Structure formats: C-alpha cells, structure tokens
Amino acid sequence: MIDLLGKIFKSSNQRRIDSYQKVVNKINLLEEDFKNLNEEEFRNFKLHDQDDDLAKVFAAVREASNRTLGLRHYDCQMIGGLVLNGGNITEMKTGEGKTLVATLPAVFNALSGKKVYVVTVNDYLAERDANWMRPIYEYFGLTVGALTSAQNFNDKKATYESNIIYCTSSELGFDYLRDNMVLFQNQKTQKDLNFAIVDEVDSILIDEARTPLIISGATDDDASAYPVFLKLLPNLVRQLREGTEEEPLEDNEIGDFLIDEKLRTVELTDNGFEKVEKFLANRNLIKEDESLYTTNNLKFLKYVQATLKANLLFEKNVHYMVENNKVVLIDDNTGRKLPGRRVSEGVMQALECKERVPIQQETQTLASTTYQNFFRLFDK
C-alpha cells in the first residue's frame, strides 16, 4: 500500500527532477538546430521569452562549449545548471564538471542583462576558470574577468565592467565594504549584485556564516597600558554568585568580579570598581575622588575589562596558541588556527601582554558584514 502511494504521490524532490528532465528533453531536441548556426548567429543571440528561451540558451551553450573546448554538457550537468539557475543548491563531487555546469546559468543570466558572479574558493581558481571558460562566453559576445586580491583599483574597476566575473567570496565582500566607505560614486568598483553562483556554498554560508568581514583602522590606544593593568589582576577576587533580597551575600562571599561561563562574560562588582579606582589613584592615573565612569577615565575601564577577559576567559591551547612569538586564535567549532584573526575591544592586546609577546597596535572596525548578510544582497 505504501509503495503504491509512493508511486502515485511522488516526493517533492522527484517531482522537481521530473520537471528538470522535461526541460532537458527539450534541450536535446534543440541540439541539432544549434549545430547548424554559424558563429555570427551565436553572437547575435537574444532573449525574447525567458521561460521559452531557457532551453534554447542551454542548448546553445552546450554547442558553443563543444565547438570551442571540445566539451559537451551531459544531461546530468544540464540538470545541475537548471538547479543553479533556479537559485538552488546542487551537490557535485570533484571531477563531475562543476566548472562547466556553471557556464549554463552564467550565460543565461548574462544574456538577460544581469551581472553574474561565479564565486570560487581562491584567486588561482578564479583566474584559471575564467580563462578556461572564456571561449564559451566570448562565443556569445560576452566579456569575462577574474577578480583577485593582487589587483589595484583601476584593474578591479575594469574587471567589474565584465558581464561575468570570477572571484572569491572574501574579495567580493571586502570590495563591497570598501565601496560603502568612499565619498564619491566614481570611487566605487562594484556593480549590481544580480546573480551569484557559489562554489563550496555550505562552507561559506554555514561554516563561515558568523565570520565577520571587517575593515579596520588604527586607534590611538596606548599599548603600554596593558602591562600596568596586568599587575592589578592578583589583587582581584572572584565572586561566585550574585546576591539577592532572599539570599544576600555574606561578607566572605563578596568579591571583585563575576564570570558567566555560558555567555563568556566577566563583570566587575561594586567592590571591584572600588579596588580598580584605588589601584589607579595610587598610580596617579586618576584623582582620588574621580570615578571610572567619567569621560576621561572610560579608557581605563576598557583596559581592565580586556585584561580580565584575556586572563579569565581565554585558555591557552584551547582558545588561542602562541606561534612564532605571536598569539594565534583557535576556532571554537573546528579547532583550527585562525591566523590573522584578532579579537576586538583590546582583548587581543591583553592576550599578547599575558603571553609576553610583542603587543600589536589595536585597530577599530570601520566597516563590517557577514557572508550571510552580504549574499542576501543578491537578487538570486
């Protein structure tokens, strides 16, 4: 009975595949027609009705690929192209022709007047794939470019004029941030974010989903202050719980800071604030009757918070490691090293002070986004 129902009511996935197969059948019927077209007819290929033209464009790309590269798209690759064109994800193993599959929706959307971005995992693949697939695109009169981190402003601006752009997610994201920092329109490089084909999409939108893209600049913070505040730490005592009206703290329970292990936060208590103010006054950093909360003294509070976090919340070889006389962060989820990544709010400098390695200048965030938020900007 269940088998019978399964045959009558197909899964949504199977129904979708069946609909793709109908389009592929139409593409196959058109194959002979496109073999008879000359090169000029390909260059003058125009879209009229997009639903009807989808099969025609895919058939044309198959023929152009066969003529220029000697590579003919298989039916399963056609289905992969249809899936991508619909804004969906297709899983393909290495060697199954992902690079060739991407040309199908890339040409279709470029001929529709959309800016197409083919996002690869590194600069090498961006350049390689752009050059490899270039003959197919040029057969339709389309331009293609490779965006890399080595390019200067003028080179990037020229690349963004291309119909189809091969690039990495990071370069694309950072260019977006840089464009949002300029004063004049002609200083921007990036064009419309219409259509993106993303390789290793699970890595970018899931594994790296919360990883921020940050453009930062130097601050005027004094790195020499961190060793001073490290001397404060032995004088502070942890308080294990917060007092309530029902259960007020005993005298022997009162401490200087509270730690929330779950949220990974540390906060000074009233007693802790008094100790910090006394510590600063004894070193003539503030006046005896001054509060930490005055405008001029807020920077000291930041140094204290950073020192507490670095020493109480960050465990060596768990959250970070020391390598080549530098502090290197460790990803909490994967356990992998994150070279070049830094913690903000002075915590990185406090970690460097803790480990007695050179303290690098702190930076401030000028612009930031995440991969998820960035790719939401695309139409498809």
Q: When comparing pLDDT for 275 and 50, which is higher?
A: 275
pLDDT, averaged across the chain: 88
Domains of the chain: 2-217 (3.40.50.300), 225-361 (3.90.1440.10)
Closest by CA to 276, choosing from 285, 252, 251, 238, is 285
pLDDT, residue 8, reads 47
Q: Which stretch of 149-158, 210-219, 223-232 has the lowest confidence by average pLDDT? A: 210-219
Q: Are 215 and 367 in contact (CB under 8 A)?
A: yes
Pair type for strands 164-168 and 195-198 = unpaired
Q: What is the pTM of this model?
A: 0.69
Tell me the chain's radius of gyration from C-alpha atoms: 29
pLDDT, residue 67, reads 94
**Average pLDDT in the 161-178 region?**
94
DSSP assignment of 170-238: HHHHHHHHHHTT-SSGGG-------EEEETTHHIIIIITTTPEEEEEEE----TTHHHHHHTTGGG--B
pLDDT, residue 4, reads 44
pLDDT, residue 10, reads 57
Query: Which secondary structure element, helix H or strand E, spans residue 65, and what is its range?
Result: helix 50-68
pLDDT, residue 218, reads 72
289-337 pLDDT, tens digit per residue, is 888 888 888 889 999 999 999 999 999 999 999 999 999 999 877 788 8
Question: What is the longest distance spanned by two Cα atoms in the chain?
Answer: 93
| pLDDT confidence band for 139 (50 / 70 / 90) | very high
74-105 pLDDT, tens digit per residue, is 999 999 999 999 988 888 877 778 999 999 99
Neighbours of 176 (CB within 10 A): 18
